[in-house]
Amino acid sequence: MKRHRDARSGFEAGKRQGYARGYEEGYRKGAADGSSQFRLPMTGTSIIIPTCNKVNYLKECIESVHTYTPQPYELIIIDNASTDGTDRYLHSLRGVRYRINASNLGFAGAVNQGMMMARGETLLILNNDSVVTEGWLANLLHCLHASPDHGIVGPMTNYISGDQLLEVGYGSMPEMQAFARSYNRPDPAAWQMTGRLTGFCMLMRRETFEQLGYFDEGFEIGNCEDDDYGLRLRLLGRQLIIARDTFIHHYGSVSMKALDGKFDEVYGNNLRYYSEKWSDPHGMLGLDWQIGEARWRTTDLYPTCIIVQGSDPTLYWVEGGHRYQIDEGGGGACRDRAVRVSRVDLASWPMGGVFTSQEVEHRQAMLRAAAQEGQLREGILAQTPHGLCQYREGLWRRFLNDRALACWRLAEQEISRSLAVDRAPQGPPIIAPPTIHSGEI
């Protein structure tokens, strides 16, 4: 009997060990397979829906996407710490990728996380309180791909500010869908170039995202970040287009209305942030340096001779359009001068080798000496009739404002006041980088 119990006990122990070993091996294999698939490109559109509470609106939005989108797509839902059961709803879905945040990262932070996860050849941002319609994505894709100058396109809707607003008379969702079926007839003559697209529905190519980068997370919760993103696109020489042959329904400002008395405070803070960042956006757009350039990137509007880092601790020295990894093994004080940039911006600078921290400090010392002696050198700062400028690749580049100078940690760099730069050719301005809070971005 004892031998029987021992055998039975040994069998059970072996079974548990085998199960545990198989589970661990299976988990590792599944994680590895999932990781390898995560970055594989997808022929289709990544539809990114940021959400915060209002789960019933989210359900209606997702159901409309499934019903009226025959084109290939993936759904990516980013939940900003909802407390109304949105997490349970997301767990119940199949074939949808999602992320549930422990805190509210705002519209920009959620969109950025979705962009990081996206695998599509086109990316579309869609508000959770939108209801899409028959032919919506086909029409938007037609408009986007009609010209390489079309950077971001958006539809018409019933509830919005600006030129995308369409007066409608329907009184129910069935009536809305019937109206949209008759309205959504492809018509290139109806496309309209605009100075502003609202962020409730924005479609772009992956290539545009890689040139433009992420949304600025310095904007609180919501409002103005879409204006900022559209302005940055136009500075790169691309166009914002309203597809006036496309209509989707928008309940409108559902998440922002939930702020109640805080709305005015949030909106005021975002307006101040936008103003401090851009100073004179319309004046910048009047410059002619971006005309005819098809391959501008945001990093072309950044300075040279700077220290940057991405989402990991690795530091880089940027000069001559390349980045050089900084080997800190020999000491130095590079880290406290590093500026945080996104991984997309970081990848825009090709790798150029490795510098020691001493080499970086030597280059910075050479810049200080050149400024003191009035010698022209790549990266030197000088006071010009156009404002404070930096010399880069034969051109003087004006810092847009004091904030741009401070963001790049160049405010304490020596400034030359003796260089004759009155008639030197002017290049693109230097702008501040977007603020990034999300760790992986």
Q: Is the pLDDT of residue 2 over 70?
A: no
* Span 106-116, pLDDT tens digits: 999 999 999 99
Alpha carbon distance 50, 126 (integer Å): 7
- For 222-278, the DSSP string reads SSSHHHHHHHHHHHTT-EEEEEEEEE-EE---HHHHTTGGGHHHHHHHHHHHHHHHH
The whole-model pTM stands at 0.86
In this structure, what are the phi and psi dihedrals at residue 43, rounded to the nearest 5 degrees?
-80, 95
pLDDT at residue 6 in the model: 61
Q: Is the pLDDT of residue 183 over 60?
A: yes
* Span 74-115, pLDDT tens digits: 999 999 999 999 999 999 999 999 999 999 999 999 999 999
pLDDT band at 288 (very low <50, low <70, confident <90, very high): low
What lies within 8 Å, CB to CB, of 235 at 6+ separation is 284, 285, 290, 296, 301, 431
Alpha carbon distance 241, 208 (integer Å): 14
Q: Is the pLDDT of residue 331 over 60?
A: no
Please tell me the least confidently modeled range out of 226-235, 307-316, 325-334, 364-373: 325-334
Cα 245 from chain centre: 27
pLDDT at residue 370 in the model: 92
Alpha carbon distance 373, 428 (integer Å): 26
- Percent of the chain's residues with pLDDT above 90: 68
User: Is the Cα dihedral 36, 37, 39, 40 positive or negative?
Assistant: positive
Q: What is the mean pLDDT of residues 383-387?
A: 80
392 token code pair: 């880069």
Q: Is the pLDDT of residue 154 over 60?
A: yes
- Percent of the chain's residues with pLDDT above 70: 84
* Span 350-369, pLDDT tens digits: 999 999 999 999 999 999 99
pLDDT at residue 204 in the model: 98
* Span 243-273, pLDDT tens digits: 999 999 999 865 555 556 677 888 899 999 9
pLDDT at residue 35 in the model: 44
Q: What is the mean pLDDT of residues 330-341?
A: 80
Per DSSP, the chain holds a count of helices (H) and strands (E) of 14, 19
Q: Is the pLDDT of residue 31 over 50?
A: no
